[in-house]
């Protein structure tokens, strides 16, 4: 199974400049600029996003231009599986129950397709064959 990390224009250069290093959000919790909760993990998925429905599986459809100024599926990185665990396994031990329910119950979401790492992932590489999808 291939794992992917999707990102936007304002994040891709920092990732590539650091040799494909994906880092957990350094400021987890409720965000002021975007009304959402951020977990301290790197998010990955096995979903090959081609449509809005695909983006909904991983919770990115709502972010595409609605809550942010960028679209989160512009770039795709292929991610090594080192240190990555299923979301549900990590969330059982680490996620607030109510926030988890809000996230997992978003329209079209499929948490079984989410994988996370609480530590940086090194060696992600840009998928040159992927053409960014504005979903």
Task: Encode 4-56 in three state secondary structure.
Answer: EEEECHHHHHHHHHCCCCECCCCCCEECCCCCCEECCCEEEECCCCCCHHHHH
pLDDT in tens, 17-68: 999 999 998 776 666 766 666 789 999 999 998 888 888 888 776 544 444 5
Domain 3-126 bears CATH identifier 1.10.10: no
Q: Residue 134 pLDDT more than 90? A: no
User: What span, in angstroms and rounded, lies between the C-alpha atoms of 17 and 15?
Assistant: 6
pLDDT in tens, 72-86: 788 999 999 999 999
Q: Where are the domains of the chain?
A: 3-126
pTM of this structure: 0.86
pLDDT in tens, 99-129: 899 889 888 889 999 999 999 999 999 999 8
């Amino acid at each position: 199974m291939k794992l992917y990390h999707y990102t936007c224009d304002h994040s891709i250069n920092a990732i590539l400049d650091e040799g494909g290093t994906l880092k957990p959000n350094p400021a987890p919790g409720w965000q002021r600029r975007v009304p959402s909760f951020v977990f301290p993990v790197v998010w990955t998925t096995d979903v090959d996003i081609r449509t809005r429905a695909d983006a909904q599986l991983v919770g990115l459809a709502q972010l595409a231009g609605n809550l942010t100024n960028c679209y989160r599926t512009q770039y795709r990185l292929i991610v090594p599986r080192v240190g990555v665990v299923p979301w549900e396994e990590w969330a059982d031990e680490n996620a607030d129950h109510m926030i988890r329910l809000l996230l997992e119950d978003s329209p079209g979401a499929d948490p079984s397709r989410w994988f996370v790492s609480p530590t940086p992932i090194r060696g992600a590489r840009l998928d040159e064959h992927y053409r960014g999808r504005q979903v």
